[in-house]
Amino acid sequence: MVVGAVIVSTFFVGFGGGVIFPILPNLGVVLGISPFMVGLILSANRFSRLLANAPAGVLVDRVGTRTPFVAGMVVQGIATFGYVVAVVSAQPALWFLPDVPEAWFLGSRIIWGVGSAAVFATAYTIAADVSDETSRGANMGLIRGGVLFGFPSGVVVGGVISELWGTVPAFVVATLFAAVACVVAFVTIPETHVDGDGHRSVSILDVDRSVPAVTVGLVNFAVLFAYIGALFATLVLFLDRNDLGVFGFDAQASSGIFMAVTVVAAGIFMFLGGYVSDRTGSRVPTLLWFLGTTFVGFLALALADSVATLVVACVLIGAGQGGTSGPLMALLADLTPDERMGRAVGTNNVLGDVGGGLGPIVSLPLVELVGFWPIYVACAVLPVLAGGVLLAGIHHETGRFTPSVGSPEEPGETPERSSGHAD
């Protein structure tokens, strides 16, 4: 099954994205990397991906899905191996490698972001190509879940292996997983996408500006701004300020556990949200339900004063974020012609990365100024506003607030997507 191959590939290569997180902060002291540089290294992939999202989408529409997907996997594998080079470059015996581990790490993260842009653009396009309206939501949720779970798995595996056997073995294991992902992708992923205009230029500004693409992208912006940008960025500070923790751990370790709760909830509801939207005749009610769940989750977070109430808030926020993802990408596929799907995914990824990257820049300083509950209440409002944007955009495009799954209400405005290959 093509979707299964995409899930396996993205899951295994996702290890490389997560394995560095539990290792690099401590490694920075050993290798003489400043805290500022550590932060820059950890976020470099997001900035490079932001620039690469649009060109990746154009390439998909030009040359199809197989080549960019496999190439993106290979690029991410090379970037993961760069972590190994970064650590061993500090060894005196390896005089032929420049002793600048921070440059090796930074370069690897930048390259990783470029590869992940290609993988993200193609993964969702493949899912759209091989699905019809009865399976598109579930398949989008499954693929998003594979991408999502690869990262925290890498965090856990990287931390355990580095603790038991050392840093280099952890990075080597991540590289081996990435190599397996490349082989799986090369052997199993067929070409699924129609060829576009082979003479079209590639530009970082060449995104799909259609109403469906921008509408879906803005909803993605709002959800990721609140989830990644605000919750993940401020949770450790919230725990420390309120003296909350689990299993005797301090705020830093406990925040990882609470984040894992949101990730597990998100992973479960990514599939369920997509599956429900496939079966209910319209994706919009499912999307509104889970945007409402996110709203309730952030209100609960603003009022949380115990471990129990915080767990409830994290489950609701994770469920809301995950349950939105599958139906949202399926809706984009429903309303986007085949020849523009790559660029439409690029638009969605650009706006999502802007939201996830802008969130910490905004939320962290404001938390110091006004406290936590006003920020979390503001984050609760964001999915409500996103719901309004969704309804307005969909009504403008189709003439209805709840268009039928896979059947645009105004055929003259949006060509109907073909069902593609059998899944």
In-domain check, residue 423: no
In-domain check, residue 418: no
- Say whether pLDDT at 409 is over 70: no
Tell which of 130, 156, 191 closes a domain.
191
Query: pLDDT tens-digit profile of 339-375?
Result: 777 778 778 878 887 887 777 778 878 888 898 999 9
Q: What Å distances lie between residue 290 and 274, 330, 337, CA to CA?
A: 11, 15, 26
Query: pLDDT tens-digit profile of 230-255?
Result: 887 788 788 888 888 888 877 766 77
CA distance 238 to 27: 26
Which residue, among 160, 188, 194, has the nearest Cα to 174 in the 3D structure? Answer: 160
In-domain check, residue 198: no
What would the two tokens of residue 327 be?
A: 């139906």
What average pLDDT does this structure show over 216-225?
Answer: 92
Q: What is the pLDDT of residue 159?
A: 65
Q: What are phi and psi of 193, to 5 degrees?
A: -110, 145
What average pLDDT does this structure show over 1-11?
Answer: 77
Residue span of the structural domain in which 337 resides: 207-407
In-domain check, residue 270: yes
Q: Do 249 and 347 belong together in one domain?
A: yes
What would the two tokens of residue 48 be?
A: 């490079």
Q: What is the pLDDT of residue 410?
A: 45
In-domain check, residue 268: yes
Q: Do 186 and 214 belong together in one domain?
A: no
Query: pLDDT tens-digit profile of 94-126?
Result: 555 677 888 888 899 899 889 988 888 788 778
Which band of pLDDT confidence, cut at 50, 70 and 90, is reported for residue 302? very high
